[in-house]
Amino acid sequence: MPRVLWTHLMKDLRIEWRSKEAINSMLFFALLVVVLFSLAFDPRGPFSQSIAGGVLSVATMFASVSALNQAWAREIRHQVMDAQRMAPTPGAELFLAKVLANFLFVTIVQVILAPVFLVMYNLRVVGQAWLLAVVLPLGTWALVANGTFFAALSIRSRNRELLLPLILFPIFVPALLAMVNATGGILTGESDPGMWIKLLTGYDIIFTTVSLLLFDTVFNAE
C-alpha cells in the first residue's frame, strides 16, 4: 500500500478511535431502523425471511449517510480541507483512504448488528451462508465508495448534509437491488444470487474507477 494512502488511513482511524462518532451514531441509527421496521411490518414466520435482506440493506444505507457526512465534515471544520488541497499528494489517495476507513466502520457496525438482527427476525439461513460474506462487503463497498464521493461533492454546497442522500440514493438503486436480492436469495435459498453478485462486482468496479478519476476535479472545484 502506498505510504501516503496508509498515512491518510491511519489518521482517519486514529481520529475515529478517539471520537467514536461515526461508529456510535451509525450503530444506534441502524438499530433504530431495524426496530422500527420490525414494529411496522411484524416480521413473523416466512415473511421475515423474505424482507430481512431488504431491511438490513436499507438500515445500513440510512445509517451510513450520517457517517459519510461526518467523514468530510471533519475536514471542513477548521478548514483542514484547504491544507489537504495544498498538500502535493493526489487527492485520490485521500479519497481512497476515506473509503477504506468508512468501509471498515460500516463493516464493524454490520458485524455487531448481525446477531441482533438474526435474533430479532428469527432468521435462519437456508442457502449458502458463506456467500453472505461476499455479498455484504460488495454491497457495503458500493455504498461507501459512492457515498464518500458524493459526500465530498455535497459538502461543497450550501445544504451540505441534506444533499447527500438526495444524490446518493438514486444512483445507488441498482446496487441496492442487487444487494437485497442476493441476500434474500441466500436467506431463503429460493433463488441463485450469482447473477446479483456479478452485477454488484461490476457496479463496484465501474463506480470506484470513475470516482478515483473524477475525485480531484471535485476536490479542487472552486
Partner 1 sequence: MKKLATGFYAAIVVALMVWGFYQAIYVAPDESTMHEVQRIFYYHVPNAIVCFAFFAVSLLGSIGYLAFRRSNPEWAQRADAWALAGAEVGVVFCTVVLITGPLWGRRAWGIWWTWDARLTTTLVLWLIYASYLLLRRFAAGPQMQTLAAVLGIFGALDVPIVYMSNRWWRTQHPAPVFGGDADSGIKDPAMLAAFGWNVLAWFAWGVLILLLRYQVERKHQKNAALEAREALESHV
Partner 2 sequence: MSGPARPAPNAQLEDVSKLFGSFAALRQVSVALEPGKCYVLIGENGAGKSTLLRILAGLLRPSMGQIQVFGEAEPHDARDRIGYMSHAPMLYDELTGVENLSYFARLYPDRECLEPAEALRQVGLDPKLERPLGQYSQGMRQRTSLARVLLAQPDLLLLDEPFSNMDVESAGQMVELLARFRHSSRTIVITTHQRELAAPIADFVLALKAGRVARFEAGNPTL
Closest CB to partner 1 among residues 3, 159: 159
DSSP 4-39: HHHHHHHHHHHHHHHH-HHHHHHHHHHHHHHHHHHH
Select from partner 2, partner 1, none the partner in contact with residue 214, using the beta carbon and a kind-dependent cut-off of 5 to 8 Å: partner 1
Select from partner 2, partner 1, none the partner in contact with residue 154, using the beta carbon and a kind-dependent cut-off of 5 to 8 Å: partner 1
Q: How far apart are CA 139 and CA 63, in angstroms?
A: 14
160 in contact with partner 2 (CB under 8 A)? no
Q: Point out which span in 2-10, 47-55, 117-125, 153-161 binds partner 1 (CB under 8 A).
A: 153-161
With the CA atoms of 204, 210, 215 and 217 taken in that order, what torsion angle do they form, in degrees rounded to the nearest 10? -160
Closest CB to partner 2 among residues 13, 123: 13
In Å, how far are 26, 91, 146, 183, 214 from 206, measured between CA atoms? 27, 19, 11, 22, 12
Select from partner 1, partner 2, none the partner in contact with residue 7, using the beta carbon and a kind-dependent cut-off of 5 to 8 Å: partner 2
Which residue matches cell numbers 450520517?
66
Choose, by CB under 8 A, the member of 32, 35, 36, 87 that binds partner 2. Answer: 87
Q: Shortest gap between Cβ of 67 and partner 2 (angstroms)? A: 15
108 in contact with partner 1 (CB under 8 A)? no
Q: What angle do CA 159, 152, 7 make, to 5 degrees?
A: 145
Interacting residue ranges for partner 2, rule: CB under 8 A: 3-4, 7, 11, 14-15, 18-19, 74, 77-80, 82-89, 220, 222
